[in-house]
Structure 1
Amino acid sequence: MKVGYARVSTTGQDLDTQLAKLEGMGCEKVFQEKVSGKTADNRTQLAAMLDFVREGDCVVACKLDRLARSVLDLNTIAKRLQEKGVDLIVLDQNIDTTTPTGRLLFNMLGSIAEFERDLINERTAEGRKAAVAKGVKMGRKPSLTEKKKEEMLTEAESWEGSKGELAKKYGVTRATLYRALSEKI
């Protein structure tokens, strides 16, 4: 049985092209998901597909990076498929693990996919560092303005209810209130 696997990283992307290719290859069942490929841990449909396939089946993916973005994950997936007696075909890179050449190509392209991921992470880190140097604030915006924070801290001194009630009044969590109180000390 041919079993397809399709993945896109974000909800804004669309699976239609991959699904059409997999259908064209005669995949009888297709597992699909919209989730980051950074690690295989959070990919429920990948796990379901790996559990589903049986000896003699063939997993078909459109691109190698749809299956995994690290050599470690790729090798783990390939080993699991091999242990189950399942072949792998990657359409866009013409990989067919039933041949020695296909296995070599599979490992080479897996290394390139990991290298590409590392470059993306490096460029992202550089961009983040440059933005911080220009004064761009990273992360969440504060839950309270400084003025509201001061009001809350002043009110906390004479507050007779629970800290949870005071936090709720200002629309913050108790942890935020306690953090503000500890900063004041």
Structure 2
Amino acid sequence: MIVGYARTSTLDQEAGLGAQVRDLEALGCERIFQEQVSSIGPRKQLDAATDFVRAGDTLVVTKLDRLARSVTHLGTIIAELEKKGVALRIVNLGVDTSSSTGKLILNVLGGVAQFEREMMLERQREGIAKAKGEGRYKGRKPTARAKSEEIKALAAQGLSMNAIAAKLCIGKGSVHRALAAEKPAA
């Protein structure tokens, strides 16, 4: 059986998910698991797909980045699939792990992809450091400080820190800090 997996990072990427599903259907996938979730969050449909496949099946994805977060994560997925006797096909790379050459190519490409990601993050850190040095990088605006008056008013009404945090969509620690700033040091 050919089983497909499609993923986009956000709900705003409907067209991307639709395109992946269309491509997987065109490749003859009999069952397609799809989700719209960040690569760092839990991916229940990926787990469902790897649980569903059986010996002799092929799991198909349109792109490597739709499947794995890192080379280590890719290795874990491949090991799980191999243990079950399932091949992995990545369409845009033309890689199919049903052959030893396909397995080799996939490992090399995974290593290159992780190297590129690490280089991108390094360039990003360098850019942030340069901007900070020039006084142009301020970081994100503090959200809780802007709500300190609301925090104090809600606390005066007798709401708990948990209730205030939930009502204002901020962390409990932020509520605590705003209230602690109110009290004079002893």
TM, length-normalised to structure 1: 0.77
Verify: 1:65 aligned to 2:62, yes or no.
no
How far off its partner does 1:176 sit? 3.5
Query: Structure 2: any 5+ residue segments left out of the alignment?
Result: none
| Rg larger in structure | 1
1:13-162 correspondence runs (5 A): 13=13, 14-37=16-39, 39=40, 42-133=42-133, 134-145=135-146, 148=149, 162=158
Cα 1:127–1:12 shift into 2, 3 Å: farther
> Partner residue of 2:7?
7
Give the Cα separation in 2 of the matches to 1:56 and 1:25.
Answer: 17
> Partner residue of 2:178?
177
How far off its partner does 1:24 sit? 0.7
CA contact (8 A) 2:148 2:178 kept: no
Question: Which deviates further from its counterpart, 117-126 or 66-75?
Answer: 117-126
Cα 1:127–1:162 shift into 2, 3 Å: same
Q: For 1:23-48, what per-residue CA distance to the aligned partner results, in whole angstroms no more than 9, with x for missing partners?
A: 111001111122232x4x62111111
TM, length-normalised to structure 2: 0.77
How far off its partner does 1:60 sit? 0.5
Query: Structure 1: any 5+ residue segments left out of the alignment?
Result: none
CA contact (8 A) 1:69 1:113 kept: no
Give the Cα separation in 2 of the matches to 1:146 and 1:44.
Answer: 35
Give the Cα separation in 2 of the matches to 1:65 and 1:138.
Answer: 28
Give the Cα separation in 1 of the matches to 2:91 and 2:69.
Answer: 17
User: Which structure has greater helix proportion?
Assistant: 2
How far off its partner does 1:178 sit? 3.4
Secondary structure at the aligned position of 1:143 is classed as helix
